[in-house]
Amino acid sequence: MHTIDHAELADVFNKDEARVDWHDETLWWIRQKRDKAVNQLPEWELLRETASKIKENVLSNLAGYLEEFEGNAQKNGIIVHWAADAKEHNQIVLNLLKGKGINKMVKSKSMLTEECHLNEHLEHNGIEVIDSDLGERIVQLAKEPPSHIVLPCIHKKKEEIGDLFHEYLGTPAGNADPQFLTETARQHLREVFLTRRAALTGVNFAVAETGEFVVCTNEGNADMGAHLSEIHIASMGMEKLIPKRENLGVFLRLLTRSATGQPITTYSSHFSKPRSGTEIHVIIVDNGRSQQLGRPDFRNSLKCIRCGSCMNTCPVYRRSGGHSYHNAIAGPIGAILAPNLDMEKYADLPFASTLCGSCSNVCPVKIDIHQQLYKWRQVIVQKGYAATGKKAAMKMMSLTLASPTAYHLGGKAGRFVMKYAPIAVNNKLNPWYKQRDMPEPPKESFGEWYTKNRKA
């Protein structure tokens, strides 16, 4: 069965080289802002190590912290729900809204709801959802998924956003002034905030000892939605816990410096109990996380705090775009999370990397992303999701390389490497040659030279 594949989507993305350059430079600029910010903190590496250790502790004691959080949240008057998977999560949201006779909801940014495809589910059931994060609103108008977890519309140029606003929000044609467009969105969203009875937000951090949760935004849109609605639903991946409130300092210092180079998000809002006459519901979602926790090689991917720095630094992401990962979460982190959910569908993602290791180095919680990409490749091949041609080539290659006689014969017969590597995957139309010349084969191999020039 042929499924969508990163390489093919990346190939399409690369048809417009100027756009690739623009995309690459935009994200590299953010990587540079991150570098500048982190270099102002001599304790940066210690912060990363501390955050990593805190999250390891959380993952090792997750059940205990979840119950502690649930108990304390309930004491505060928050209603806690548990969802085993995306379907249950979506149903809980729908039931809450239906129970109150609500058919319109405002939603601030939550990658979990993207992962669960909540919007589609609600719209299918007659609920209108408006995303209030500006970038999210833009991709929502464009009927596209976000291409980046922090910068959802980073793949869109301002002119394209101007066209969308012209079409949907009635701005003058051809106006692509960012300030004007932002003001338009602000007015449009203001009306939404004022009229919605329900607001959904994500959760960046849930504090076990206090039962509160923290939502980080730059636009204050989570607060606007939550404070103006009578029901606030917070969707939370079950790995979002931290043990104590004092741990927050570590994570808040890391999160936005890693994400955009800002010292902290403009708003880091703590929600601990509902205002009188309103409700707060937290939905704690598993959706494959328990399974990932049970995979020793991949469990620490659950340390992720969704800063997106691995995407900004990834030379492949920058040149293939977020949509080429055909998953809610793109980039290197997406490539190690997605196969857990569907190994066949996402079998291509761990291969969409050169294993350069830059992602692991920028990760604020020190996830060994590139090592996990390597390990996923082994798992995917072992489970039988590699192409048949590739299997045969690899078998042939391993036999030849395990035998000095075969290797030397192969070398003489037209340079072994020319035949198998790096062309091992596909010999039909050598993709190496499309944009690159082949190396000039030398008169003799080093082995042959050595025999002539050095006494054994």
Partner 1 sequence: MNVGLFIPCYVDQFYPNAAIATLQLLEKLGVTVTYPKNQTCCGQPMANSGFEHLTGGCNELFIKNFSGFDYIVAPSGSCVLHIKEHLHSRQHEDEAADISSKIYELSAFLTDVLKVESLPSKFPFRVGVHQSCHGQRGLHLSQMSELVAAPFSKPGSLLQMVKGIEIVPLNRIDECCGFGGTFCVAEEAVSAKMGKDRIEDHLEHGAEYITGVDMSCLMHMEGLLNRRGSKVKVLHLAEILNAD
Residue type, 192: V
Q: Which residue has the tokens 């030398």?
A: 442
| Between 147 and 313, CB nearer to partner 1 | 313
Shortest spacing between CB 73 and partner 1, in angstroms: 36
Q: Which residues contact 140 (CB under 8 A, 6 or more apart)?
A: 119, 130, 131
* Residue 426, CB-side half-sphere exposure with 13 Å CA sphere: 8
| Contact status, residue 331 vs residue 308, Cβ threshold 8 Å | yes
Shortest spacing between CB 332 and partner 1, in angstroms: 12
Q: Distance between CA atoms of 336 and 45, rounded to whole angstroms? A: 23
CA distances for 86 relative to 251, 286, 298, 415, angstroms: 27, 8, 21, 52
Shortest spacing between CB 393 and partner 1, in angstroms: 9
| Contact status, residue 254 vs residue 51, Cβ threshold 8 Å | yes
* Beta bridge pairs of residue 355: none
Q: Distance between CA atoms of 256 and 266, rounded to whole angstroms? A: 10
Q: Is 444 in the site for partner 1 (CB under 8 A)?
A: yes
What phi and psi, each to the nearest 5 degrees, are found at residue 220?
Answer: 70, 15
Among residue numbers 34 through 93, which ones bind partner 1 (CB under 8 A)? Answer: 35, 38-39, 41-42, 44-45
Shortest spacing between CB 325 and partner 1, in angstroms: 12
Q: In this chain, which of 64, 249, 263, 441 binds partner 1, going by CB under 8 A? A: 441
Among residue numbers 297 through 336, which ones bind partner 1 (CB under 8 A)? Answer: 313, 315-316, 319-320
| Contact status, residue 348 vs residue 376, Cβ threshold 8 Å | no
Q: Which residues contact 177 (CB under 8 A, 6 or more apart)?
A: 162
Give the sign of the dihedral formed by CA 147, CA 152, CA 158, CA 160: positive
**Which of the ranges 85-93, 145-153, 240-248, 353-361 carries the binding residues for partner 1, by CB under 8 A?**
353-361
- Element holding 343 (H helix, E strand): none
Shortest spacing between CB 377 and partner 1, in angstroms: 4
Q: Is 168 in the site for partner 1 (CB under 8 A)?
A: no
Residue type, 298: F
| Between 1 and 456, CB nearer to partner 1 | 456
Closest CA to 292 of 371, 357, 372: 372
Shortest spacing between CB 358 and partner 1, in angstroms: 6
Shortest spacing between CB 138 and partner 1, in angstroms: 25
Shortest spacing between CB 370 and partner 1, in angstroms: 8
| Between 74 and 398, CB nearer to partner 1 | 398
Alpha carbon 140 to its chain centroid, in Å, reads 18
Q: In this chain, which of 219, 351, 365, 367 binds partner 1, going by CB under 8 A? A: 351
| Between 165 and 346, CB nearer to partner 1 | 346
- Between CA 333 and CA 287, with CA 316 as vertex, the angle to 5 degrees is 20
Among residue numbers 377 through 396, which ones bind partner 1 (CB under 8 A)? Answer: 377-378, 380-382, 386, 390-391, 394-395
| Between 108 and 258, CB nearer to partner 1 | 258
Closest CA to 134 of 86, 187, 205: 187
Among residue numbers 400 through 439, which ones bind partner 1 (CB under 8 A)? Answer: 400-404, 407, 411, 415-418, 420-426, 430-432, 434-439
**Which of the ranges 10-18, 179-187, 280-288, 289-297 carries the binding residues for partner 1, by CB under 8 A?**
10-18
Closest CA to 127 of 153, 88, 99, 155: 99
Q: In this chain, which of 19, 20, 269, 343 binds partner 1, going by CB under 8 A? A: 20
Q: Is 28 in the site for partner 1 (CB under 8 A)?
A: yes
**Which of the ranges 5-13, 86-94, 188-196, 199-207 carries the binding residues for partner 1, by CB under 8 A?**
5-13
# residues contacting partner 1 (CB under 8 A): 86
Q: Is 442 in the site for partner 1 (CB under 8 A)?
A: yes
| Between 176 and 356, CB nearer to partner 1 | 356
Q: Is 357 in the site for partner 1 (CB under 8 A)?
A: yes
